[in-house]
Amino acid sequence: MKMYLISDNIDTQTGMRLAGIDGVVVHDKQALHDACKNALSNKENAILLFTEKAADIDREYISSLKVTVTTPLIIEIPDRHGSHDVAGSINTLVQESIGLKL
């Protein structure tokens, strides 16, 4: 079982590569969608990591993946540019998934 990173910058990808995590850098929607399809088709990927800014390229698409895809586990990670509102994104995910407002 492996982790795979989809990042918006080369620095994060290089750091993760040093830790043994393969990945790709994307800058537009088409590249993001292609990277996701490739990562999801590889059955060895147990965890799919996204930098927050990479996920922001197409937030709606990534949110739909989080709700519909059972494996791999999809996780957003902050990079050196900081973190978004983590509690807010968890609340949004719960609300979209089960319709419960926290």
Here the CATH number for the domain that contains residue 42 is: 3.40.50.10580
- pTM > 0.85: yes or no: no
How many structural domains are present in the chain? 1
Per-residue pLDDT tens over the stretch 28-64: 999 999 999 999 999 999 999 999 999 999 999 999 9
Task: Classify residue 24 by its DSSP letter.
Answer: E
Written as six digits, the tokens of 71 are: 């494996």
* Res. 95: pLDDT tops 80: no
| pLDDT over 70 percentage in the chain | 79
Q: What are the start-end ranges of the E strands in the chain?
A: 2-7, 22-25, 45-51, 73-77
Structural domain for 63, as ranges: 2-98
How confident is residue 81, by pLDDT bands cut at 50, 70 and 90?
A: low
